[in-house]
Structure 1
């Protein structure tokens, strides 16, 4: 919730594509939205920032949270390869005008960078995850802790609202 309308505008960003599980809400949870989440999303929308959920979660789960949070979205999105382009078409924006915010390097950040969006990697809200995701987390940590790979710039900068915008690091070539 540290991502503010001012921070987004300073970077020329007009929309945010959010991952759902462990980014906005803990994995597999239903019920009430976490404290402050609805107000924060509403503040983004009131500032003219478009918001959309792009999730690999089930259609039923994504629909539930879209209704609960009052935002559009879809799933399963097939990230990193699919979903983000569909979202760009729905928003009618260029990739450079869109931020992708998520908790996973190989789905959210990679997918966002593949389309040329600004990416923000956030820590997961919960340690509860699918077994597959727990395995991938080990690879993520290794990649992010191994600067010689040159992959740490995939968007895993420490989130600092005062930092200037950096261009995506993965080209489409």
Structure 2
């Protein structure tokens, strides 16, 4: 692996696309299933984001022991209305941002990943994003990846490798996962 390869932790959650436009929040699975009604805390948290912004990420739920609770996340999908609101209080979801697809109306998908990642980090810092938002850890250092992989599991599926110079890809083709 060269320093031209981006590495990030892969969480045990649901991949999701989030879009904020003129106060309207759309939260969908990668296959297009509408998920916003099941995750009102994510929709409410979108007020922290800039308008005309879109993110690629993963929805996760932590349990009391600080581990990812995939079964709790699965149970959240079928809930709507008051049931979803109660579930969001008991088992709040977080949106782990993996990539920036649009920023203030500018399509960023053609940018190299290095530039998109820097812009995403800048959004997190400038907006001081907090729960339900989380920025996926990343590194270009192989030693850091080895450390991630030797830690006690907290629900991580592995590590994803992407080229820093690549444009956004809507599928996982071209990515490597360990």
More strand by share: 2
| TM-score between both structures, scaled by the size of structure 1 | 0.28
TM-score by length of 2: 0.27
Higher helix share: 1
Look at both structures and tell me which one has the larger radius of gyration over its CA atoms.
2
Larger RCO (CA within 8 A; separation ≥ 6)? 2
